[in-house]
């Protein structure tokens, strides 16, 4: 990214002053601090890796299977080995902060003519690329459902079937959340809405990845249970004498509570991100105004033009808003009701289906 901006600084064609001012500000206040953080994280990780004994590295896989998967170990939540990932996360947050500060500074009107200091975005191109990126994230969720070994179990087919349907509905909700024309898009509006939309895309992307990982965890848990039952059956019948010995080594896995919490959190964030995207396009005021019916005020002289004002509650839209709130609230507490992967998947499909129906009904009542 730094090399690309350096190329733009020296070789970019067009308004040379705007290009150089834009890229230099981005390099100085955004890219260089982020690179310093990433370099520090890489250095710390390399130093920690070099201090690990060679025999421990060679036997790492053996060591990590010795502990019982169901046992719980107590210890500090953060250790020095977490420092590289912590620095990486801080670099990401620092990049967001500097991006916001740089754009707000350039558009404030207090630091010279914006036309000489800022290069505007290609809105049509950004909309297209954002759409392709989200489709890629949706594809990762589908891939998580397909890469797990198949087993003839009812829960396996339940999770794969309803998982695919859920992801399809989420893709439809994402497409429906965006306007058909660039003029109505948040990226075309004011800077605040455009930046909010960009950050929501990042949140949606991360939550979709986590959502897809949940399906993979669910399917692996089902597969593990089936293999365990098959192994027990073989040992009981005496078909394979070494089956019991192989079962003594416990393979690390994610607990049911953690998997259910990840599924619940990811689904809730996905739904909330999609709803907030609608607000970036339409605006909060417009969304609130739709809760009230529009009436004509004809008081005054006969020749006076009728004034439109908001009157009684628009009951269907209010009911739809309440249903959305209730469904998202239920989604955030889903792991409190059940920990079964198949039931969680079916409930997730039902939640997304209801949200899709509210979109259809909302459009019908508004138009």
Residue 240, classed as helix, strand or coil, is coil
Tokens of 227: 């293999």
Q: Contact 169/357 with Cβ under 8 angstroms?
A: no
**What secondary structure letter does DSSP report for 252?**
P
CA–CA dist 186, 199 (Å, integer): 12
* 31-49 pLDDT tens trace: 888 899 999 999 999 998 8
Burial category of 102 from C-beta neighbours within 10 Å (exposed 0-12, middle 13-18, buried 19 and up):
middle
Bridge partners, residue 296, by sequence: 308
Q: Which residue has better confidence, 102 or 88?
A: 88
Tell me how crowded residue 326 is: count the other CB atoms within 10 A of its CB: 11
- Beta partners for 297? 307
Question: Do the beta carbons of residue 222 and residue 156 sit within 8 Å?
Answer: yes
Query: For 212-265, how does the pLDDT look when each residue is reduced to its tens digit (9 = 90+)?
Result: 999 999 998 888 887 776 665 555 555 544 444 344 344 446 788 888 999 999
Average the pLDDT over each of 37-41, 131-135, 273-277, 362-366 and give the range with the smallest value: 362-366
Instruction: Classify residue 77 as exposed, middle or buried by CB count within 10 Å of its CB (0-12, 13-18, 19+).
Output: exposed
Q: CA-CA distance, 257 to 45, in Å (whole number)?
A: 30
pTM above 0.85, yes or no: no
């Amino acid at each position: 990214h730094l090399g690309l901006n350096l190329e733009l600084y020296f070789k970019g064609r067009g308004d040379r002053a705007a290009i150089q001012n834009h890229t230099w500000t981005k390099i100085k206040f955004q890219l260089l601090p982020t690179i310093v953080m990433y370099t520090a994280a890489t250095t710390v990780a390399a130093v920690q890796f070099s201090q690990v004994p060679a025999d421990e590295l060679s036997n790492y896989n053996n060591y990590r299977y010795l502990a019982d998967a169901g046992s719980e170990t107590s210890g500090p939540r953060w250790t020095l080995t977490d420092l590289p990932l912590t620095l990486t996360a801080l670099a990401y947050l620092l990049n967001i902060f500097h991006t916001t500060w740089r754009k707000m500074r350039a558009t404030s009107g207090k630091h010279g003519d914006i036309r000489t200091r800022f290069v505007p975005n290609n809105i049509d191109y950004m909309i297209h690329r954002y759409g392709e990126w989200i489709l890629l994230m949706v594809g990762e969720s589908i891939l998580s459902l397909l890469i797990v070994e198949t087993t003839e179990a009812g829960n396996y087919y339940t999770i794969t079937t309803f998982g695919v349907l859920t992801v399809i509905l989420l893709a439809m909700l994402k497409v429906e959340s965006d306007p058909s024309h660039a003029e109505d898009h948040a990226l075309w509006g004011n800077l605040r809405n455009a930046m909010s939309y960009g950050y929501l895309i990042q949140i949606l992307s991360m939550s979709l990845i986590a959502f897809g990982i949940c399906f993979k965890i669910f399917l692996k848990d089902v597969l593990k249970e089936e293999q365990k039952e098959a192994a027990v059956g073989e040992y009981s019948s005496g078909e394979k004498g070494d089956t019991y010995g192989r079962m003594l080594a416990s393979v690390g896995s994610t607990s049911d509570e953690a998997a259910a919490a990840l599924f619940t959190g990811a689904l809730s964030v996905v739904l909330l991100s999609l709803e907030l995207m609608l607000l970036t396009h339409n605006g909060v005021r417009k969304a609130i105004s739709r809760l009230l019916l529009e009436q004509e005020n004809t008081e005054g002289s006969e020749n006076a033009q009728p004034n439109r004002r908001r009157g009684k509650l628009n009951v269907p839209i209010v009911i739809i808003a309440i249903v959305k709130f209730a469904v998202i609230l239920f989604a955030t507490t889903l792991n409190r009701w059940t920990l079964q992967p198949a039931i969680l998947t079916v409930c997730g499909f039902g939640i997304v289906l209801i949200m899709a129906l509210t979109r259809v009904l909302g459009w019908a009542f508004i138009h």
